[in-house]
């Protein structure tokens, strides 16, 4: 299959992936939105009068874009990784293996489904949290671009994790020791300028930081680093992770024996 045929062939599997999380929307969409609202209520209430990061931007307003992007990232990863590991453990992955789908079709389907879920949860978080601090989008193109790139990056990373893991314990370890720390240390709850020089430098090695910072740029028109630098780092990370995921799918890593 060429790329266009792979994209067309991915449609049934993509539809399955979307329906899989949509049928349990209270768990896959409602619960993450509630979690983000709780974060906002707790941190916003405690720090609203004590922290101001950007001039004229209250802490609650500053926090909302970070929570939206965090929700996009975590749920995009969860969708592709959980779908693949469940199919491997239950044994129904064999039915997908029997289909004439190329490795590229698999990639488009799983990552596409992850992106849809990430954007759905992010939109839900934004729709609810905007009531706490009304504001507009100053540069909306950055917001959309980094949301799509973030969902794609974490969807591909979730695909790698799902291929690597043989049981739920390994998947939980991947999420708890890699995804969660990178997400919480990406500037969701703070600006890197409030950190010491050592931790600032360490934060700049985290690609999730550039996702959050570039996404926040679309809301306020200001950011900790140049958005073009963030775009370059995130694009390179997405291409590298996607290339690894495609290679693993092509070789049948842990799914073809």
Q: What is the pLDDT of residue 136?
A: 75
Residue range(s) defining the domain that contains residue 56: 3-251
In a domain, 23, yes or no: yes
Dihedral of alpha carbons 189, 195, 200, 203, sign: negative
Q: What is the pLDDT of residue 1?
A: 58
Q: What is the pLDDT of residue 49?
A: 61
pTM over 0.85: yes
In a domain, 256, yes or no: no
Report which of 170, 84, 71, 174 is spatially closest to residue 128, judged by C-alpha positions.
Answer: 71
In a domain, 257, yes or no: no
Q: What is the pLDDT of residue 135?
A: 72
In a domain, 180, yes or no: yes
Q: What is the pLDDT of residue 60?
A: 84
CA distance 187 to 208: 9
Which residue stretches of the chain have pLDDT < 50? none
In a domain, 221, yes or no: yes
CA distance 105 to 9: 6
Number of domains in the chain: 1
Q: How many Å separate Cα 128 from the centre of its chain?
A: 19
Q: What is the pLDDT of residue 176?
A: 92
Q: What is the pLDDT of residue 190?
A: 83
């Amino acid at each position: 299959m060429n790329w266009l045929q792979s994209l067309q062939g991915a449609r049934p599997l993509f539809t399955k992936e979307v329906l899989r999380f949509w049928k349990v929307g209270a768990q896959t969409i409602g619960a993450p939105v509630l979690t983000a609202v709780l974060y906002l209520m707790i941190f916003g209430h405690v720090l609203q009068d004590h922290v101001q990061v950007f001039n004229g931007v209250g802490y609650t307003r500053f926090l909302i874009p970070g929570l939206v992007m965090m929700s996009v990232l975590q749920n995009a990863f969860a969708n592709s990784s959980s779908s693949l590991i469940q199919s491997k453990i239950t044994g129904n992955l064999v039915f997908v293996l029997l289909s004439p789908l190329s490795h590229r079709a698999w990639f488009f389907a799983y990552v596409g489904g992850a992106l849809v879920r990430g954007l759905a949860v992010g939109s839900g978080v934004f729709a609810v949290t905007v009531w706490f601090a009304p504001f507009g989008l100053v540069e909306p193109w950055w917001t959309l671009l980094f949301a799509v790139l973030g969902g794609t990056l974490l969807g591909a990373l979730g695909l790698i994790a799902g291929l690597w893991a043989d049981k739920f314990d390994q998947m939980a370890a991947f999420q708890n020791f890699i995804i969660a720390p990178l997400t919480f240390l990406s500037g969701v709850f703070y600006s890197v300028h409030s950190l010491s020089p050592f931790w600032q430098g360490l934060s700049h090695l985290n690609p999730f930081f550039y996702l959050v910072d570039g996404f926040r740029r679309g809301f306020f028109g200001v950011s900790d680093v140049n958005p073009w630098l963030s775009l370059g780092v995130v694009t390179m990370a997405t291409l590298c992770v996607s290339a690894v995921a495609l290679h693993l799918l092509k070789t049948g890593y842990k799914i073809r024996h």
